[in-house]
């Protein structure tokens, strides 16, 4: 860096020689300030999404860089929300990046007083075994009059209103095929 | 609405800017009230009395939109001579059976149709929430009924309606609801003056209306008003349900519900639907009008989507694999079964019943008595930690070392970490693009259930058990991608949309559905979301680049229609009712329906069309029958069947009320679902003694700053800091009566639980003068629990379990309690305090809640009871659960 | 137009601060008559600007649990419950069996619940009497006694009620004392006429804090630096809307060229007056007021004090120019010496 460059970047020099003799505006702008750009402009990409809270269905723009969400804000194109979000929708970035989010499988053994770790594949396998055992134990083939029942009342499930249609579809399809009738979600609550 | 759906409220503000008047009815003054033109405080649980008052006001002053009412509703239909109204039976309709707590609908039918084979006792329907099926599909009524177009026949619907609500006067509204007469009249005047040819009025509601033992009838009363005023199927009109979860509409359309299959097809019942044909006929009602006539194709296509190649016309598309209902398998019955040890395993998928469901203690004790529990969530929620961190651990009811429930907590992917569609509150599907990968072990439900199915099928591959065939024959081959083998959500959406089996070509509309196995459709009402092989839900043409209907933003079911029944926006001849309110109309030159929206009518059926003799299904709909999903093409002011607790709405007191019903001897809904279980003790209400032990009315709802059970807000500091503590709002008058100080502590006691909260004394709450008494109401947010950044007692712990008979929704917007200053006891003394209240209120474990509180039930032939029994005998009868 | 570099009176601040060809002055117009108190502005601001939490305390000031503008809250929604009529509305509790109002008493209790916001001076404890007066509005009939709420005497039953909500923010004064006293040049006037703390310059001296006539700017403990609303300098530089205004569901917060906003505000006030809301008035819009007008101004439905705003703010550096001359000379001498030292060192 030559002296000239240096001196021109120096606020007092700019103040004395420029348009801002009191050094309150143009001369006082720091290098950082001069280079500021909104992180939405420098993001790797933007996904068009929908708010996960209530059912109004406000449009969201999800900006991300290096595999991390850097900003979520309203989608001005949406005819539903016109770019606006409520406090919950506005907090969506904090929701998905919250330090309280669980990212590891947790397992509580019967009668245990603490959680322990468990491998995801092992957990999936254990759950499958338990489903099969519960089915075998509680399966009802036919009713008293010999009419088909094809079901287990030993398995229950609750939830779905926060999930995608595609997910609910697979859940209902799989549970129906395994005879698990007792499926419910927030629509009843 | 400003409180729970602030962004939706921008449209109310927009209307207000253009001169609209906003009325807000709520037990407490909220952020919505602050912006409303008129606020009406109301006693929680009395909206039918208020709305019934409006119906009466319309009819007495003949303010209905007569042309609309005559042409498009059943106002002129003549009802059976056997029908007896609640006015004559002290709050019961004819056909009540006290043994089953349900009605025989025969006497409710139109004249000459009492013997309709479809009409029968409705005890079974009550158990299986079959009212919910009718969210979209027609009820069994014949296409034609005797009518009197002059509306003078004493048994025509119009006159019956008039008599039924004749006592719902402004004085009665004041007496029941605590709303002063002048204020009621202001509402009634504004509503009627802003409806008709030139103007329309909208009605917006949320779970403040639905979560009652008469929830469905609340909505029915709103529908009657909107139909009488001609506000249905027209722009700026309608009844708008503001739902509370991102895809709660979707989870009803593609139901994770026990009694429904996708597209509101009913889950088969073991006795009613032993065969495929009987199942299908129960949906389509042969001989009836309307689009349910095609349901054989929808049903066959669903089974084809489920069982693929294995499903053939010869084997009834594997209908034999379907599990069958035998009764009530709803979530509250499940929880009681858990307590009784009958359920082995439980999945919780983004839901937190320990906080969010009524009777939190029952929820937690149920979970503590399972073999295993799988919780899939973003955060560590109360329902995952009940074994170490619940109120019952403090009281010693759950001892971790003695609790056998094995718990798997599996982290879930968030909405930005997966792609898929949400269906929002107005039936609009919007596709979300994925932004980033989920962290660590977090996975989508799509991943979890696809791979769970894969593992189950692998484990069963060698099985010869008959019960495993349904799993092994399941069409379960979705393409996957990425390092975790994530299934393709688009592939699933294509299956939901439906395709031609031979070619795989996506269907363009449900009209292409076939009953011969040549089409597979996962959810027929969503057919068209992948029309032309394009993901229509992903469309995002800017609002600046299209008209106000914005048909190219997302995709609405059915057929991308934004307003249902919009044929009603034109007069019987197909002309707009007015230039100002034109929306969809008949273009005679082009020979088709046209307008701003996709017409909800057969495109080229002219207004003059009259069906030939003997027609059924869509062909039976006349050119001026706009309500195309109804069995007669009409909007129903009176429901001859389909609504289990009465053809007309009637004011009943909430299951827990400090008041005797001022209108009828019948206190509460005589068909409500009661669960008599030692854990579920309901506070006594008049005419039972001891109701004064719980003298105050409480209601709960949401705060803007939090979301439901708090799992997505108490865990986020930005939100948690805005409402950091559990509180109770009380009026200064109640604070004075009980001795509560602003920001001090209070505890509230019901027959189930004690909870504590900080006190906000506020002018936003008011005592009400009701039937000569002063009634105090308190309000609580229900967002708090033991986990997260901010914690507090759960308001839903106070509620017992009583359900609406139509859809099995719980009464969790009103209950009775006592309130006392100071903090609650901790540990075992807390149980002593509840026990003391139970003792004082005589709430013994074996107490029966009286269902019928009028003598009109038994002995009166007009009631049409098949099995007469005195109310007293009934009170000692079997539990109804 | 007064002289250039004036510290008082109307002027266009960006050109005054040396910005050649400055864009139009940008600002906020906050119309409290349509505010629904949802606090989306508070959250959207924190999300964009990465502002830390300000504590988890129930304040009892109606639904306000933020308390005030601090280094950790750059937007603050005030809630005021008042037993006063709200324009054309039917009295909410007419005909109900009510007693006297409690809102003054509740406000008085809430006023002394100042939490530790992690900032300095943060949230000073309020004065109960003043809070009660504000909650009751002009009809305040004296401090409620110590009796439990609801047991007051001598006041008629409440029928009227209104709930005022207002999203407060830095005013971005035309004459910004915070900027004028900043010794490091951290606080500066942007080309949009807004006032911004530059976090890479601020040394935490805290002079600006006592200079602000609105009590807006505040120091973050542990960090030491001063923080406040930047009017999203980075966003508006790229032609975007500040985060709070972008989120606001009801357009209570409007962003745009100040001239346009002032016109819009005048029209809105006139419309409200026509609709029978005579209490609607503007605050901070007048270029001749004590701070030369605010870059962020408001439509209020009551006296400014009710919202916790000073009724007649005056720039605290009004008399500074006289003093500045001497300081300027001294600075010049020091700068010259520094340049000489540098030039000498590099040769």
Please give the pLDDT value at position B478.
98
Nearest chain C residue (CA) to A19: C18
Q: How many CB atoms lie within 10 A of CB A65?
A: 15
**A101 in contact with B at a CB cutoff of 8 Å?**
yes
Distance to chain B for C155, nearest Cα, Å: 13
pLDDT tops 50 at residue B859: no
**Are A150 and B544 in contact (CB < 8 Å)?**
no
pLDDT tops 90 at residue B666: yes
CA distance A148 to B323: 8
Quote the DSSP letter at residue A25: S
Reported for A30-36, long-range contacts at CB under 8 A and 24+ positions apart, including other chains, are A30/C185, A30/C186, A30/C188, A30/C198, A30/C200, A30/C201, A31/C200, A32/C198, A32/C199, A32/C200, A33/C188, A33/C190, A33/C196, A33/C198, A33/C200, A33/C233, A36/C233, A36/C234, A36/C237
Distance to chain A for C31, nearest Cα, Å: 16
pLDDT tens track for B556-583: 999 999 999 999 999 999 999 999 999 9
**Are B766 and C93 in contact (CB < 8 Å)?**
yes
Nearest chain C residue (CA) to A20: C18
Please give the pLDDT value at position B172.
98
Quote the DSSP letter at residue B509: S
Please give the pLDDT value at position B614.
85
State the angle between helix axes of B170-177 and B47-60 in degrees (0 to 180), rounded to the nearest 10. 180
Q: Which two tokens stand for residue B208?
A: 């403040």
Distance to chain C for B30, nearest Cα, Å: 9
CA distance C172 to B630: 61
| CATH class entry, domain B673-840 | mainly beta
Position B123 confidence tier, pLDDT thresholds 50, 70, 90:
confident
Q: Locate tokens 């939190």: which residue?
A: B360
pLDDT above 90 covers a percentage of chain C that reads: 73
Position C211 confidence tier, pLDDT thresholds 50, 70, 90:
very high
Please give the pLDDT value at position B877.
33
**Are B6 and C90 in contact (CB < 8 Å)?**
no
User: N- to C-terminal Cα distance for chain B?
Assistant: 35
Distance to chain A for C296, nearest Cα, Å: 19
Cis preceding linkage at B92, omega within 30: no
Please give the pLDDT value at position B140.
61
- Rg, chain C, Cα only: 22
Contacts of A16 in chain C (CB under 8 A): 332, 335
Q: Which two tokens stand for residue B216?
A: 């469905």
Contacts of A51 (CB under 8 A, 6+ apart): A57, A58, A59, A60, A81, A85, A88, A89, A92, B246, B415
- Residue B765's nearest CA partner among B21, B23, B22, B44 is B44
Please give the pLDDT value at position B880.
36
Position C137 confidence tier, pLDDT thresholds 50, 70, 90:
confident
Q: Give one DSSP letter per residue of B187-218, joined into a string.
A: HHHHHHHT-SSS----EEE-HHHHSSTTHHHH
pLDDT tens track for B1-52: 989 999 999 999 999 999 899 999 999 999 999 999 999 999 999 999 999 9
For β-strands A148-158 and A139-142, DSSP reports them as antiparallel
Check the CA dihedral B13-B15-B21-B23 and report its sign: negative
pLDDT tops 50 at residue C248: yes
pLDDT tops 80 at residue B595: yes
Please give the pLDDT value at position C149.
47
Position C321 confidence tier, pLDDT thresholds 50, 70, 90:
low
Q: How many CB atoms lie within 10 A of CB B240?
A: 16
By the 8 A CB rule, do B742 and B728 touch?
no
- From the list B322, B452, B459, the residue facing A176 with the nearest CB is B322
Please give the pLDDT value at position B630.
85
> Strand, coil or helix: what is B519?
strand
CA distance B756 to B792: 8
pLDDT tops 90 at residue A131: yes
Distances (CA, A) of B263 to A188, B133, B202, C296: 17, 9, 26, 52
Position C136 confidence tier, pLDDT thresholds 50, 70, 90:
confident
Contacts of B523 (CB under 8 A, 6+ apart): A165, A169, B253, B254, B262, B263, B302, B496
pLDDT tops 60 at residue B261: yes
> Strand, coil or helix: what is A74?
strand
Distances (CA, A) of B21 to B36, B201, C216, C275: 8, 10, 38, 13
Please give the pLDDT value at position A59.
98
By the 8 A CB rule, do C258 and C26 touch?
yes
**A174 in contact with B at a CB cutoff of 8 Å?**
yes
**For the residues B528-536, what does the mean pLDDT come to?**
98
**For the residues A69-78, what does the mean pLDDT come to?**
98
**For the residues B484-509, what does the mean pLDDT come to?**
98
State residue C28 phi and psi, 5-degree precision. Answer: -115, 140
Q: Locate tokens 């009694």: which residue?
A: B259
CA distance B193 to B98: 43
- From the list A12, A90, A94, the residue facing C335 with the nearest CB is A12
**Are B409 and A50 in contact (CB < 8 Å)?**
no
Nearest chain A residue (CA) to B430: A50
Q: Give one DSSP letter per residue of chain A, joined into a string.
A: --HHHHHHTSHHHHHHHSS-TTSSSGGG--HHHHH---HHHH-SEEEEEE-SSSSS--EEEEEEETTEEEEEEE-TT-TTTTT---HHHHTHHHHHH-TT---S-EEE-TT-SS-EE--HHHHHHHHHHHHHHHHHHHEEEE-TTS-EEEEEEEEEEE--TTS-HHHHHHHHHHHHHTTEEEEE-GGG-
Q: Which two tokens stand for residue B691?
A: 């109701």
Contacts of C278 (CB under 8 A, 6+ apart): none
Nearest chain A residue (CA) to C52: A94
CA distance C301 to B35: 13
pLDDT tens track for B748-763: 999 999 999 999 999 9
CA distance B216 to B649: 9
pLDDT tops 60 at residue C88: no
pLDDT above 70 covers a percentage of chain C that reads: 83
pLDDT tops 90 at residue B144: no
The ranges of chain B annotated as CATH 2.40.40.20 are: 673-840
Check the CA dihedral B461-B466-B471-B477 and report its sign: positive
- From the list A52, A151, A159, the residue facing B246 with the nearest CB is A52
- Residue B69's nearest CA partner among B610, B627, B629 is B627
CA distance B693 to B837: 7
Contacts of A71 in chain C (CB under 8 A): 47-48
DSSP β-bridge partners for residue B423: B429
Please give the pLDDT value at position C157.
86
**For the residues B700-708, what does the mean pLDDT come to?**
97
How much is the ipTM here?
A: 0.95
pLDDT tens track for B81-90: 999 999 999 9
**For the residues A74-99, what does the mean pLDDT come to?**
98
- Residue B452's nearest CA partner among A124, C44, C21, A100 is A124
**For the residues C24-34, what does the mean pLDDT come to?**
98
By the 8 A CB rule, do B418 and B446 touch?
yes
pLDDT tens track for A49-59: 999 999 999 99
- From the list A30, A36, A93, the residue facing C234 with the nearest CB is A36
Contacts of C40 in chain B (CB under 8 A): 6
CATH dotted code for B9-241: 3.40.228.10
The ranges of chain A annotated as CATH 2.20.25.90 are: 39-97
Q: Which two tokens stand for residue B372?
A: 């295993």
**Are B736 and C100 in contact (CB < 8 Å)?**
no
Q: A39-97 adopts what CATH topology?
A: N-terminal domain of TfIIb (2.20.25)
Binding-site annotation, residues of C for [4Fe-4S] cluster:
35, 38, 41, 45, 170, 173, 178, 182, 202, 205, 208, 212, 229, 232, 244, 248
Average pLDDT for chain B: 94
Please give the pLDDT value at position C6.
64
The ranges of chain B annotated as CATH 3.40.228.10 are: 9-241
- Substitution target from C40, C182, C232, C323 for chain A, most A beta carbons within 10 A: C40
**For the residues A123-131, what does the mean pLDDT come to?**
98
Q: C13-90+98-138+161-316 adopts what CATH topology?
A: Alpha-Beta Plaits (3.30.70)
pLDDT above 90 covers a percentage of chain B that reads: 89
pLDDT tops 70 at residue B860: no
Please give the pLDDT value at position B661.
98
pLDDT tops 90 at residue B285: no
User: N- to C-terminal Cα distance for chain A?
Assistant: 68
> Strand, coil or helix: what is B809?
coil
Binding-site annotation, residues of C:
35, 38, 41, 45, 170, 173, 178, 182, 202, 205, 208, 212, 229, 232, 244, 248
By the 8 A CB rule, do A83 and A59 touch?
yes
- Residue B360's nearest CA partner among B812, B777, B806 is B812
**Are B36 and C46 in contact (CB < 8 Å)?**
no
Nearest chain B residue (CA) to C157: B733
> Strand, coil or helix: what is C153?
coil
Domain ranges of chain C: 13-90+98-138+161-316
Position C124 confidence tier, pLDDT thresholds 50, 70, 90:
confident
**A85 in contact with C at a CB cutoff of 8 Å?**
yes
Distances (CA, A) of C77 to A84, C40, C161: 17, 10, 19
Contacts of B132 (CB under 8 A, 6+ apart): B252, B257, B259, B260, B264, B806, B807, B808
- Residue B647's nearest CA partner among B290, B226, B220, B238 is B220
Position C144 confidence tier, pLDDT thresholds 50, 70, 90:
low
Please give the pLDDT value at position A2.
57
pLDDT tops 70 at residue B500: yes
- From the list B261, B408, B425, the residue facing A127 with the nearest CB is B408
Q: How many CB atoms lie within 10 A of CB C63?
A: 25
Position B629 confidence tier, pLDDT thresholds 50, 70, 90:
confident
pLDDT tens track for B344-366: 999 999 999 999 999 999 999 99
Burial of B603 (0-12, 13-18, 19+ CB in 10 A): exposed
**Are A169 and B402 in contact (CB < 8 Å)?**
no
Distance to chain A for B82, nearest Cα, Å: 34
**For the residues C320-329, what does the mean pLDDT come to?**
59
Please give the pLDDT value at position B862.
37
Burial of B541 (0-12, 13-18, 19+ CB in 10 A): middle
Q: What angle do CA A186, B1, B3 make, to 5 degrees?
A: 85
State residue B371 phi and psi, 5-degree precision. Answer: -80, -45
Please give the pLDDT value at position B291.
77
Average pLDDT for chain C: 88
- Substitution target from C3, C13, C43, C73 for chain A, most A beta carbons within 10 A: C43
> Strand, coil or helix: what is C105?
helix
pTM of the model: 0.94
pLDDT tops 50 at residue A135: yes
Quote the DSSP letter at residue A180: E
Which residues in chain C (202-261) have CB-CB distances under 8 A to chain A? 232-235, 237-238, 240, 243, 246-249
- From the list B254, B376, B467, the residue facing A168 with the nearest CB is B254
Please give the pLDDT value at position C314.
94
Chains that touch B (3 or more CB pairs under 8 A): A, C
By the 8 A CB rule, do B685 and B751 touch?
no
Q: Which two tokens stand for residue C326?
A: 């001497």
Chains that touch A (3 or more CB pairs under 8 A): B, C
Please give the pLDDT value at position C254.
98
Position B160 confidence tier, pLDDT thresholds 50, 70, 90:
very high
Output helix, strand, coil percentages for chain B, rounded to the nearest 5: 30, 15, 55
**For the residues B734-742, what does the mean pLDDT come to?**
97
Q: Which residue has the higher pLDDT, B253 or C125?
A: B253
Contacts of C330 (CB under 8 A, 6+ apart): none
């Amino acid at each position: 860096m030559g002296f000239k460059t240096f001196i021109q970047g120096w606020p007092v020099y700019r103040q004395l020689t420029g348009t801002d003799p009191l050094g309150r505006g143009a001369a006082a702008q720091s290098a950082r300030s001069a280079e500021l750009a909104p992180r939405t402009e420098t993001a790797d990409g933007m996904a068009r999404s929908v708010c996960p809270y209530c059912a109004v269905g406000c449009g969201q723009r999800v900006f991300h860089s290096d595999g991390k969400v850097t900003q979520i804000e309203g989608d001005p194109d949406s005819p539903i929300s016109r770019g606006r979000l409520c406090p919950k929708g506005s907090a969506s970035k904090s929701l998905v990046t919250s330090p309280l989010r669980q990212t590891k499988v947790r397992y509580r053994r019967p009668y245990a007083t603490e959680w322990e770790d468990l491998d995801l594949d092992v957990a999936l396998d254990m759950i499958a075994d338990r489903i099969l055992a519960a089915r075998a134990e509680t399966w009802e083939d036919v009713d008293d009059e010999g009419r088909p029942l094809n079901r287990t009342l030993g398995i229950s499930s609750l939830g779905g209103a926060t999930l995608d249609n595609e997910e609910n579809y697979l859940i209902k399809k799989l549970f129906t095929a395994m005879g698990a009738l007792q499926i419910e979600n927030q629509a009843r609550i | 609405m400003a409180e729970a759906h602030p962004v939706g409220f921008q449209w109310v503000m927009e209307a207000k800017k253009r001169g609209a008047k906003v009325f807000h009815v709520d037990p407490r003054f909220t952020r919505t009230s602050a912006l409303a033109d008129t606020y009406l405080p109301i006693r929680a649980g009395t909206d039918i009395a208020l709305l019934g008052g409006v119906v009466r006001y319309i009819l007495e002053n003949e303010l209905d939109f007569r042309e609309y009412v005559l042409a498009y509703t059943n106002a002129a239909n003549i009802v059976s001579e056997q029908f007896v109204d609640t006015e004559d039976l002290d709050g019961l309709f004819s056909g009540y059976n006290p043994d089953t707590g349900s009605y025989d609908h025969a006497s409710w039918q139109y004249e000459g149709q009492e013997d309709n084979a479809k009409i029968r006792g409705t005890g079974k329907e009550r158990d299986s929430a079959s009212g919910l099926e009718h969210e979209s599909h027609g009820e069994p009524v014949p296409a034609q009924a005797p009518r009197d177009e002059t509306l003078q026949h004493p048994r025509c619907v119009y006159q019956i309606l008039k008599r039924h609500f004749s006592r719902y006067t402004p004085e009665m509204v004041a007496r029941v609801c605590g709303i002063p007469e002048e204020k009621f009249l202001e509402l009634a005047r504004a509503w009627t003056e802003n409806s008709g040819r030139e103007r329309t009025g909208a009605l917006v509601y949320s779970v403040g209306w639905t979560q009652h033992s008469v929830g469905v009838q609340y909505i029915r009363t709103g529908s009657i008003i909107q139909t009488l005023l001609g506000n249905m199927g027209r722009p700026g009109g309608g009844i708008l349900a503001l739902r509370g979860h991102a895809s709660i509409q979707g989870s009803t359309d593609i139901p994770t519900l026990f009694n429904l299959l996708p597209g509101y097809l009913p889950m088969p019942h073991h006795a009613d639907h032993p065969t495929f044909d009987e199942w299908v006929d129960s949906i389509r009602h042969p001989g009836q009008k309307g689009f349910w006539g095609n349901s054989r194709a929808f049903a066959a296509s669903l089974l084809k989507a489920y069982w693929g190649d294995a499903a053939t016309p010869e084997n009834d598309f594997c209908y034999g694999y379907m599990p069958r209902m035998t009764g009530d398998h709803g979530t509250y019955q499940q929880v009681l079964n858990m307590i009784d040890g009958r359920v082995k395993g439980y999945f919780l998928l983004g839901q937190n019943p320990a906080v969010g469901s009524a009777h939190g203690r029952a929820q937690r004790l149920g979970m503590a008595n399972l073999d295993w529990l799988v919780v899939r969530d973003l955060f560590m929620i109360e329902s995952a930690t009940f074994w170490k961190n619940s109120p019952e651990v403090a009281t010693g009811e759950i001892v971790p070392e003695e609790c056998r429930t094995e718990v798997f907590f599996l982290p879930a992917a968030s909405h930005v970490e997966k792609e898929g569609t949400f269906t929002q509150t107005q039936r609009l599907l919007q596709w979300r693009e994925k932004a980033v990968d989920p962290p660590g072990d977090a996975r989508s439900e799509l991943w979890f259930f696809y791979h769970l199915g894969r593992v189950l099928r692998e484990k069963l591959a060698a099985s010869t058990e008959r019960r495993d065939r349904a799993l092994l024959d399941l069409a379960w081959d979705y393409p996957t991608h990425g390092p975790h083998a994530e299934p393709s959500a688009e592939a699933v959406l294509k299956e939901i949309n439906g395709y031609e089996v031979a070619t795989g070509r996506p269907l363009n509309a449900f009209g292409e559905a076939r009953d011969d196995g040549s089409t597979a459709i996962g959810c027929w009402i969503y057919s068209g979301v992948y029309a032309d092989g394009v993901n229509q839900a992903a469309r995002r043409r800017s609002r600046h680049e299209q008209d106000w209907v914005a048909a190219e933003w997302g995709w609405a079911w059915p057929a991308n229609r934004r307003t249902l029944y919009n044929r009603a926006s034109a007069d019987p001849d197909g002309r707009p009712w007015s230039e100002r309110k034109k929306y969809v109309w008949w273009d005679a030159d082009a020979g088709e329906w046209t307008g701003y929206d996709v017409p909800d009518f057969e495109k080229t059926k002219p207004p003059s069309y009259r069906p030939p003799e003997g027609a059924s299904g869509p062909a039976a709909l006349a050119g001026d029958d706009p309500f195309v999903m109804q069995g007669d093409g009409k909007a129903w002011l009176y429901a001859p069947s389909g609504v289990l607790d009465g053809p007309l709405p009637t004011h009943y007191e909430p299951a827990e009320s400090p008041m005797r019903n001022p209108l009828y001897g019948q206190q509460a809904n005589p068909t409500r679902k009661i669960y008599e279980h030692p854990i579920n003790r309901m506070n006594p209400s008049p005419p039972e003694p001891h109701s004064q032990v719980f003298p105050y009315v409480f209601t709960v709802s949401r705060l803007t700053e939090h979301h439901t059970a708090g799992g997505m807000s108490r865990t986020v500091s930005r939100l948690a800091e805005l409402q950091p503590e559990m509180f109770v709002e009380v009026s200064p008058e109640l604070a004075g009566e009980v001795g509560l100080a602003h920001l001090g502590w209070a505890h509230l006691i019901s027959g189930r639980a004690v909870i504590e909260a900080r006190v906000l004394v506020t002018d936003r709450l008011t005592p009400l003068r009701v039937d000569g008494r002063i009634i105090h109401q308190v309000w609580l947010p229900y967002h708090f629990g033991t986990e997260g950044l901010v914690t507090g007692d759960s308001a839903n712990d106070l509620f017992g379990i009583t359900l609406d008979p139509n859809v099995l929704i719980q009464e969790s917007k009103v209950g009775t309690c006592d309130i006392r200053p100071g903090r609650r006891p901790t540990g075992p003394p807390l149980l002593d305090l509840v026990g003391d209240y139970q003792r004082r209120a005589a709430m013994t474990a074996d107490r029966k809640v009286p269902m019928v509180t009028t003598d009109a039930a038994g002995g009166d032939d007009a009631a049409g009871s098949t099995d007469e029994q005195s109310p007293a005998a009934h009170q000692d009868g079997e539990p109804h659960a | 137009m007064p002289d250039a570099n004036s510290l008082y009176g109307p002027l266009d601040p960006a050109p005054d601060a040396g910005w050649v060809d400055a864009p139009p002055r940008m600002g906020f117009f906050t119309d409290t008559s349509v505010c629904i108190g949802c606090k989306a502005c508070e959250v959207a601001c924190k999300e964009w600007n990465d502002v830390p939490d300000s504590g988890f305390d129930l304040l009892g000031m109606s639904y306000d649990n933020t308390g005030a503008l601090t280094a950790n809250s750059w937007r603050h929604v005030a809630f005021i419950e008042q037993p006063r009529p709200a324009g054309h509305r039917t009295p909410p509790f007419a005909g109900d069996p009510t007693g006297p109002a409690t809102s003054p008493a509740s406000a008085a209790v809430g006023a002394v619940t100042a939490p530790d916001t992690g900032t300095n001076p943060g949230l000073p404890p309020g004065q109960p009497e003043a809070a009660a007066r504000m909650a009751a509005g002009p009809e305040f009939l004296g401090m409620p006694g110590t009796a439990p709420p609801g047991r007051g005497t001598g006041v008629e039953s409440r029928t009227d009620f209104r709930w005022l909500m207002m999203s407060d923010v830095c005013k971005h004064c035309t004459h910004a004392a915070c900027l004028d006293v900043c010794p490091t040049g951290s606080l500066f006037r942007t080309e949009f006429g807004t006032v911004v703390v530059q976090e890479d310059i601020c040394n935490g001296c805290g002079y600006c804090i006592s200079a602000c006539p609105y009590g807006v700017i505040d120091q973050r403990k542990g960090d030491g630096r001063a923080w406040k609303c930047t009017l999203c300098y980075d966003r508006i530089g790229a032609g975007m809307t500040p985060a709070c205004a972008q989120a606001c569901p009801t357009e209570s917060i409007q962003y745009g060229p100040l001239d346009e906003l002032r016109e819009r505000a005048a029209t809105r006030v006139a419309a409200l007056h026509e609709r029978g809301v005579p209490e609607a008035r503007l605050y901070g819009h007048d270029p001749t007021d004590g701070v030369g007008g605010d870059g962020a101004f408001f439509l209020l439905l009551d006296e400014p004090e009710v919202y916790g705003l000073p009724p007649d703010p005056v720039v605290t550096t009004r008399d500074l120019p006289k003093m500045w001359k001497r300081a300027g000379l001294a600075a010049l001498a020091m700068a010259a010496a520094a340049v000489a030292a540098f030039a000498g060192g590099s040769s």
